[in-house]
Amino acid sequence: MLDGPLTSEDGRPASFRDEIVSSWRRCKLVGVAHAGEDVPYQPNFERPNRLLRAAGPVIDRLAEQLLGSPVSILLADSEAQIIDRRPGSPKLAQALDRAMVAPGFHYAEEYTGTNGVGSALEERRPFVVSGPEHFRDNLQQFTCIGSPLRHPITGSTEGVLDVTCRVDETQELLKPLVLAAVREIESRIYADASRREQMLLDHFLRAGRRSSTAVVTLNEDVVIANTAASGLLDLSDQAMLWEWACRLLGNRDECNGEVRLAHDVVVLARATRVGEPGATAGVVVEMRPRPRAPSPPAAVGPRTRRDPGDNAHGQLAGRSIATARLREDVDAAIAAGGPLLVCGEVGTGKLFVATHLYRRRADGEPLTVLDARASHDDPVAWMGRLTSSVTSGATVVLRHLDELVPRLAARVAGVVEQAAPTRLLATARARGGHDEASRVLDHFPISITVAPLRYRAEDIADLVPALLAPDATGRPTPRLQPGTLRTLTSLDWPGNVRELRAVLTTAAVRSLGSDIAHEHLPPEYRSPRSRSGCTSLQRAERDIVIEALAEARGNKQAAAERLGIARSTLYRKMRLLGIDKNRLPINQ
């Protein structure tokens, strides 16, 4: 009935089909437990609109035909997360609930073992798993028949359609039923893609006829550019331009603004929505480069090494408003002189910014970095190193100064007061603590804040080459494919730049030096959604509010006026969107 039924002994399969053997081996390699019952769950998730548009009507019809039968219909996305379930009979629905086979749960093999959803994705073909063929014990009561849903044009896997029933209620017609439904859904994907791509082409040709500027038409998967646009756009700009257009358009059909592309190119752009009401097919973007101001003559003097994290003009890399504000603050701090404190969340790059400041201010003196965490191990020796470094004329960076051993606070404050004003820098998470170590921070009159990466996702395209270059000695630095960049910019990055670097390093090893594709990312980073559960619209709204606050330098009234809303509404939005007023990408 199911391509070679299994015999079992003591509840364990004794003979396997080849595909089941391969799947079980994969499960054992990643450490899936037979008795495990935990399943990754994300209650708030983005539903892939393209897949739902194509699959929804087909699933609706199937559910109506199978109403009351002991068969459940499941739809999962390309990461094996269930996004829709039609449970069938009440008895089956209860069994599925107990096994956590429901929307929001992830059924990739590395999480839940051999199953109809994850194994179909892994094998990239229809896959049947029945009874004891399931790697996990709690799934062995079911028969699952899953098949990947492929995009007929791009060949990418859009998701999985699966039907599930109890083992003793398995029917031979279920597999043909699934395959017929898959063919219909894929046909609908093709028709939808063809219609949307034709709309994009029509608008592209229309815009090109009325304008001699650079024109690009794009959505998540398609990019059409004229010669002028191709000369302006880098590979990384495609994903960033789509994100910029979505963020600024919101509910509007047209918007204008400046966009910072790769290589520090700034363009004046107009984005126009393409599509029908409630169904955006893409955008048309018309661009012209913003005239550059004349560059001042280069100063004659000693040359300093430019760090990979700096751009071609020796500035901090990044195109976001938060990074532009950081550059301004760095310039102001250098002009002011004095001991300088760099604040920010863990992993944002505070030490990198501090060493950037050192290079900008240095007159050839050496640099010493002292970690205040080490003061807990040997306070006397650590204090001696600090004193000798300051008296030797070196520039000193006191890292993690807010974690200084409390009994050294008064002595360190004295050293700060007596040190040469431009020779002392420090990093800390934030001002405002109430312990003795935090009081040392008050002796740094000037401070700048490095914004969390979630507030400057546009910078990822510029950070990638800087983070990958040190490990690519003697060979070209790997680049991100547009879809990979789009996924990375949609994540929250609680570990900030440090976390991004770890992910990129892993992906670069997997790519073997070639461009980094989606499948090279660690599995938990392949889902193009915010891990906080925010939808695209919520992320766009949050970015707009943050930008208004940054432009107003934290003045809530001024930011509310920029947004055209009441101050009370701004506070409410900040609460709903999870914006911490104490950790904005500005210096308040």
Query: Contact, 6 vs 14, CB < 8 A?
Result: yes
| 371: β partners | 399
Measure the CA–CA gap between 370 and 20, rounded to whole angstroms: 55
Judge whether residue 309 has pLDDT over 60.
no
**Domain match, 52 and 177 both:** yes
Q: Average pLDDT of 171-188?
A: 91
Q: For 254-299, what is each residue's pLDDT tens digit?
A: 888 888 887 778 889 999 988 876 677 889 999 988 876 554 444 4
Q: What pLDDT score was predicted for residue 518?
A: 83
In this structure, is residue 25 part of a structural domain? yes
Calculate the alpha carbon distances from 15 to 31, 88, 144 in Å: 21, 31, 19
**Domain match, 18 and 138 both:** yes
Query: Contact, 573 vs 545, CB < 8 A?
Result: yes
Report DSSP state, residue 106: B
What CATH number corresponds to the domain at position 544? 1.10.10
Q: What pLDDT score was predicted for residue 513?
A: 79
Domain range enclosing 385: 321-450
SS3 content of the chain, % helix, strand, coil (to 5): 45, 20, 35
**Domain match, 40 and 69 both:** yes
In this structure, is residue 31 part of a structural domain? yes
Judge whether residue 480 has pLDDT over 80.
yes
Q: Average pLDDT of 434-454?
A: 86
Judge whether residue 11 has pLDDT over 80.
no
Q: Per the structure block, which two tokens stand in for 41?
A: 């769950």
**Domain match, 48 and 163 both:** yes
Q: What pLDDT score was predicted for residue 180?
A: 94
In this structure, is residue 304 part of a structural domain? no
**Domain match, 382 and 442 both:** yes
Q: What pLDDT score was predicted for residue 583?
A: 53
Residue whose tokens read 């807990």: 376
- pLDDT category, 581, cuts 50, 70, 90? low
Q: What pLDDT score was predicted for residue 401?
A: 92
Q: For 372-402, what is each residue's pLDDT tens digit?
A: 999 999 999 999 999 998 888 888 999 999 9
**Domain match, 400 and 549 both:** no
**Domain match, 239 and 154 both:** no
Q: What pLDDT score was predicted for residue 532?
A: 46
What CATH number corresponds to the domain at position 259? 3.30.450.20
**Domain match, 169 and 222 both:** no
Q: Per the structure block, which two tokens stand in for 295?
A: 């560059």
Q: For 106-147, what is each residue's pLDDT tens digit?
A: 999 989 999 999 999 999 999 999 999 999 999 999 999 999
Q: Average pLDDT of 186-191?
A: 90
Query: Contact, 369 vs 399, CB < 8 A?
Result: yes
In this structure, is residue 531 part of a structural domain? no
**Domain match, 137 and 260 both:** no
Residue whose tokens read 């929250």: 492
Residue 262 — φ and ψ, nearest 5°?
-65, 160
**Domain match, 78 and 146 both:** yes
Closest CA to 2 of 159, 134, 99: 134
Q: For 202-219, what is each residue's pLDDT tens digit?
A: 888 888 887 778 999 988
**Domain match, 155 and 253 both:** no
Q: What percent of the chain has pLDDT over 70?
A: 87
In this structure, is residue 365 part of a structural domain? yes
The number of folded domains in the chain is 5
Q: What pLDDT score was predicted for residue 293?
A: 57
